Amino acid sequence: MYARRSCLTAAILLATGAGGMAWADQALLNSSCGGCHTETEAGLSRIEGQRKTPEGWMMTIWRMQNAHGLNISAEDRRVLVQYLSDTQGLAPSEAAPWRYALEKDPNTVEALEEPFASMCARCHTGARVGLQRRTGEEWDLHMDFHVGQFPTAEYQALARDREWFKIAKEDMVPWLTETYGPDASAWESWQGQPHAPAAGDWVFLTELPGQGEAYGKLSVSGEASPYTVSGELVLASGESLPVSGSMNLYSGYEWRANLEIGGTVYRQVLAMSEDGAGLEGRQFLRGQDSLGAPLIAARAGDAAVILGAVPSALPAGSTSAQIVGVGLDGLSASTGNAEANPYGAALSVETEGNGMLALAAGEAAFDLAYYESIDSLQVEPAFPLARVGGGSDVGPAKVPAYFSAIGFWNGPDGEPGTADDIRVGKMDAAWAMTDAHEHAAHMEDAKYAGSIDAGGVFTPGVAGPNGERPFSTNNAGELTVTAEALGQSADASLIVTVQRFIDPPIR
């Protein structure tokens, strides 16, 4: 390893321009990893035969540190995650089906085919697998690794009833090689095309959990990761919060930003669209990823884009809305008056009854609902998890859940809950929670498992035994969460369960 370090120094001294940088990064990879991974014609053994996301590379290098004693600084690790994601990453189309795992969306339930689901997606998500591409040899070695590193894998649920290792080697390896194998055509064609720069001005639409719908601007500057980001976030109330931080762009499109918004640190896991015109993903509290919301953005330019509106639907009596987008100088509205501003256009309007307001600019069109009444209500998400936590210096923090109440009209068939229902938008709702069933009532779950606030944020109880409960059980429970708005009500089921002690970047 020492001999390789001197080679790295030489590489840095000689580095000029982007080609030189890549050379320096390859030298860092060789010096950091080459002590255990031997050089082959294709690259370093084990490393060259796979492609994955920045989070995937991060997890592998973390394991090299944790399990195998690799010694590496945080900065060198960042450089290697960048280099490996840029040279052995996934094409946008390869990552697309699994983004929920990168975004840490708390409300996705995977629906995977058998035997993949029971063989591979019971200790971790199937997404962890789908977000990798490996040669057959690499999938084969990875099965050995599973049993070598975690011998109890063979004795756990859904392994004891079968010969897990035999099926993994004989059936899963060929299937994995076929499904998530070495074919790199999508990646090569993505690498072969010019990528839009991340730097520039963006207008975004999102929501801050508990604080409501929001929009704003991000200005990105720099030539390479880490980019500098600054901007502003505006809440529906008009209150404006400063945004600042940094962003790494991996694989030409994987946007990972840590931004302070009004003093709180948020993380953005977004994908830049292939043409570089848009961003899409999720923004969440860096310290508590269950509290987040989707975020979409458009690059400021000539083309008109309407991302949406804040509020997302106009309650009776409201006289204004922010239409969020770019290039909206010529925005026309079927009623009311639109005036361009830095976030799109401000709409002044008087509405009565229920209906849709048609907005258009250039090729962009958008229908904004205004309402006096709704026909039905839905709570989103319908079935989330929360986790008790805190109560000690070492255990995981509480994992809250975040609910929204969405209003609907029946649509042409006059029936609620059918495919032609019209989504009106997010409603101001009154929130309540009750015991989910007889046993929960007997255990008084609603009294102990946590509480929900006016913004739809459920905060679970503290971890550990509770002497006030039967058998001193913990504060887990099963609850029904109810929203009420405009005379309609709707329920969601909430399970409050125990802590997650190991929480890697891809679950």
Give the footprint of ligand HEC on this chain (CB under 6 A).
32-33, 35-37, 46-47, 50, 56, 59-61, 63-64, 67-70, 72, 80, 119-120, 122-124, 128-129, 132, 141-142, 145-146, 150, 153, 156, 168, 172, 176
Q: Which is nearer to ligand HEC, 122 or 442 (CB)?
A: 122
* Residue 226, preceding peptide bond in cis (omega within 30° of 0): yes
Least Å distance, CB 150 to ligand HEC, is: 6
User: At its nearest, how many Å lie between ligand HEC and the CB of residue 256?
Assistant: 18
Query: How far apart are CB 104 and ligand HEC at their closest, in Å?
Result: 16
- Residue 166 or 363: the one with the smaller Cβ distance to ligand HEC is 166
Locate 473 and state its tokens.
């059980």
Comparison of 184 and 300: residue with beta carbon closer to ligand HEC: 184
Query: What is the C-alpha separation between 54 and 99, in angstroms, rounded?
Result: 12
Nearer to ligand HEC, 59 or 462 (CB): 59
In the bound state with ligand HEC, the residue whose beta carbon lies nearer, of 87 and 191, is 87
56 vs 278 by CB, closer to ligand HEC: 56
- Per-residue tokens: 28: 């860092």
Radius of gyration of the chain (CA): 25
Tokens of 415: 């029936």
Closer of 141 and 199 to ligand HEC (Cβ): 141
Work out the widest C-alpha separation in the chain, in whole angstroms: 77
Distance in Å, CB of 126 to ligand HEC, minimum: 9
Nearest alpha-carbon partner for 254 in 227, 233, 230:
227
The CA-atom distances, in angstroms, between 107 and each of 29, 101, 172 are: 37, 10, 28
Closest distance of CB 394 from ligand HEC, Å: 20
Number of neighbours of residue 418 by Cβ within 10 angstroms: 12
Cβ neighbours of residue 65 under 8 Å, at least 6 residues apart? Answer: 71, 72
In the complex, least distance from residue 47 CB atom to ligand HEC, rounded to whole angstroms: 5
Could you tell me the smallest distance in angstroms from the CB atom of residue 82 to ligand HEC?
Answer: 12
Which one, 68 or 160, has the nearer CB to ligand HEC?
68
Least separation in angstroms between CB 120 and ligand HEC: 3
Q: What is the dihedral of CA 471, 474, 479, 481, to 10 degrees?
A: 150
Quote the CA–CA distance of 423 and 259 in Å, as a whole number: 31
- Quote the Cα angle for 283-78-195, to 5°: 65
Nearer to ligand HEC, 47 or 452 (CB): 47
- Minimum CB distance to ligand HEC, residue 489 (Å): 41
Q: Contact, 398 vs 369, CB < 8 A?
A: no
The answer for 281, left when phi > 0, alpha when psi is -120 to 50, beta otherwise, is left
CA 444 – CA 460 distance, rounded (Å): 14
> Do the Cβ atoms of 230 and 243 come closer than 8 Å?
yes
